[in-house]
Amino acid sequence: MSAPARKSTLPLLDTLDLGGKRVFVRVDFNVPMHEGRVVDDSRIRAALPTLEHCLNQGAKLIIASHLGRPKGIDPNLSLAPAGEVLAGLLRREIILADEPIGDGVTKLVRDLREGQILMLENVRFQEGEEKNDETLSRQFAALADVWVNDAFGAAHRAHASTSGMGQHVKVKAAGFLVAAEVEALTRLLAAQKVGYVTVLGGAKVSDKIAVIEKMLGKVESLLIGGAMAYTFLAAMGKSTGSSRIETAHVETARSLIATALKRGVDLVLPVDHGCAAKFDAASPRVNVDSPDMPTELLGLDIGPRTLALFERKIATAKTVFWNGPMGVFEWSAYATGTFGVARAIAGSNAFSVVGGGDSVRAVNEAGVASSISHLSTGGGASLEFVEGREMPGLYALGWRR
């Protein structure tokens, strides 16, 4: 990965001389674990360009991350397995501290030589981390000559290692992952309305209200699929059968539809559905060729006519943002809409950004990841950035919207 273009307000890593310096890199190694093993190492791989750059420059590398939501010290949420994976990927030895901070860590850092790597234990083992505690922030800062934030996935959190310590380290920079995310998402936010298509889906309207509102002020077309489409259809008086709709948000959906109308946004809802009799992977797919569903069926995917409609809108787009699968793509009978949208975006000439953990996974499973302009790995952080919210992890780097 090459270094992305310069943003005046984001200090970049490749402008710094790191040789012999203690470089504290906050990464996002909040990886999925199963029985003490890392099940998906994408987040670790995503940090490699930054970590390798520091090592090539002769830094004394200190790596910090959180993992999960421990209440105090929890051996099940140790970063040791992630450290082993990283050691394998870097083909280097990693010294694993058994605590995130303390006398032991101070001594390990003092003894660190150029090109050596120390990985701190899960920063959330310290309760001050999530409280953005001043003392802990200063303790982390005392370990570092340079603070590098490459934890985009945690950039929406004001915690000691993602934000607080930034005030106490003079030299700081965004890692390559953070820089690439900021660049791509900024470009997305700056895109012109003409030819801007956003596709939203996923499980719940309630997770996405802020994004929908934001997008209604930006896009030419807003295509809605996934379970949240049914709440919108219910708001329009369609029969949604046995689909799970968020009754508490039918009114929200109604007002979002009104906003779309007022702003002249082309809001597109499913016109047909892939349905099942039960919420079950083995339940056979029944295509319902109507926006209305029969009472005994529930919607698990967009139907073929909806997919064709979405494909047409995407084909001519200049900018595409996608968040949220079109159906229960985890079940093959209901993956058609999601994989179809993934392929349509990959096949378009648009500048395309896909965000959201499940959506990015769907793009990977559809085998089209390399044809998407930017896969945003930040999950909640990507959405908050797109919503226009404050990003404490970026603010601490001196970045301003």
- In 3D space, the residue among 307, 271, 330 whose CA is nearest the CA of residue 199 turns out to be 307
Least Cβ distance, residue 242 to ligand ADP (angstroms)? 11
In the complex, least distance from residue 26 CB atom to ligand ADP, rounded to whole angstroms: 23
Please tell me whether residue 357 binds Mg ion under the rule CB under 5 A: yes
CB of 193 to Mg ion, least distance (A): 28
**Span interacting with Mg ion, options 20-28, 148-156, 188-196, 351-359, rule CB under 5 A:** 351-359
Q: Calculate the dihedral angle through the C-alpha atoms of 330, 230, 363, 359, rounding to the nearest 10 degrees.
A: -90
Piece of the chain touching Mg ion by CB under 5 A; list 134-142, 154-162, 310-318, 358-366: 358-366
- Give 98 or 246: the residue with its C-beta nearer to ligand ADP: 246
Alpha-carbon torsion 335, 336, 340, 343, what sign?
Answer: positive
Contact, 240 vs 300, CB < 8 A? Answer: no
> Strand 117-119 vs strand 22-26: parallel, antiparallel, or unpaired?
unpaired
Which partner in Mg ion, ligand ADP, none is near 136 (CB below 5 to 8 A by kind)?
none
d(CA 373, CA 327): 23
How far from 127 is each of 70, 101, 106, 254, 295, CA to CA, in Å? 9, 11, 19, 42, 50
By C-beta, is 331 or 395 nearer to Mg ion?
331
Comparing CB distances to ligand ADP, the nearer of 102 and 294 is 294
- For residue 299, the partner it binds in ligand ADP, Mg ion, none, with Cβ less than 5 to 8 A by kind, is ligand ADP
Residue 227 contact among ligand ADP, Mg ion, none, beta carbon within 5 to 8 Å by kind = ligand ADP
Q: Is 327 in the site for ligand ADP (CB under 6 A)?
A: yes
209 binds, among Mg ion, ligand ADP, none (CB under 5 to 8 A by kind): none
Regarding beta strands 221-224 and 266-268, do their DSSP bridges make them parallel or antiparallel, or are they unpaired?
Answer: parallel
CB nearer ligand ADP, residue 132 or residue 323: 323
Q: CA-CA distances (angstroms) from residue 161 to 13, 127, 344, 393?
A: 17, 12, 39, 9
List residues with catalytic annotation: 43, 204, 357, 380
Residue recorded with tokens 């059968």? 241
Binds Mg ion by CB under 5 A, chosen from 358, 374, 393, 399: 358
C-alpha to C-alpha distance for 365 and 124, rounded to whole angstroms? 32
Regarding 202 and contact with ligand ADP (CB under 6 A), the answer is: yes
> Which partner, Mg ion, ligand ADP, none, binds residue 4 by CB below 5 to 8 Å per kind?
none
**Closest residue to Mg ion, Cβ-based?**
358
Q: Beta partners for 212?
A: none
Where are the strands (E) in 298-368, listed by range? 298-302, 319-323, 351-355
Nearest to 118 by CA among 70, 78, 86: 86
How far is Cα 130 from Cα 35, in angstroms, rounded to an integer?
A: 25
Residue 327: name its binding partner from Mg ion, ligand ADP, none (Cβ under 5 to 8 Å by kind).
ligand ADP
Please name the helix (run of DSSP H) or strand (run of DSSP E) that holds residue 311, with its range, or none: helix 304-315
- Binding partner of residue 203 among ligand ADP, Mg ion, none, CB cut-off 5 to 8 Å per kind: ligand ADP
Chain-centroid distance, C-alpha 12? 21
Q: Which is nearer to Mg ion, 357 or 388 (CB)?
A: 357
Check binding of 357 to ligand ADP (CB under 6 A). Answer: yes
Site string for Mg ion, 128-157 (x = CB under 5 A): ------------------------------
Using CB under 6 A, which of the segments 54-62, 108-116, 199-207, 215-223 binds ligand ADP?
A: 199-207
Q: By rule CB under 6 A, what string of x and - marks binding of each residue 307-326 to ligand ADP?
A: ----------------xxx-
Asked whether the beta carbons of 165 and 140 are under 8 A apart, the reply is yes
- Binding residues for ligand ADP, total number by CB under 6 A: 18
Cβ distance to ligand ADP smaller for residue 267 or 328: 328
Residues 256-315 close enough to bind ligand ADP by CB under 6 A: 299-300
Crossing angle of the two packed helices 336-347 and 357-365, in degrees rounded to 10? 80
| C-alpha to C-alpha distance for 326 and 311, rounded to whole angstroms | 13
Residues binding ligand ADP (CB under 6 A): 201-203, 207, 226-227, 299-300, 323-325, 327-328, 330, 356-359
Q: Which residues bind Mg ion (CB under 5 A)?
A: 357-358
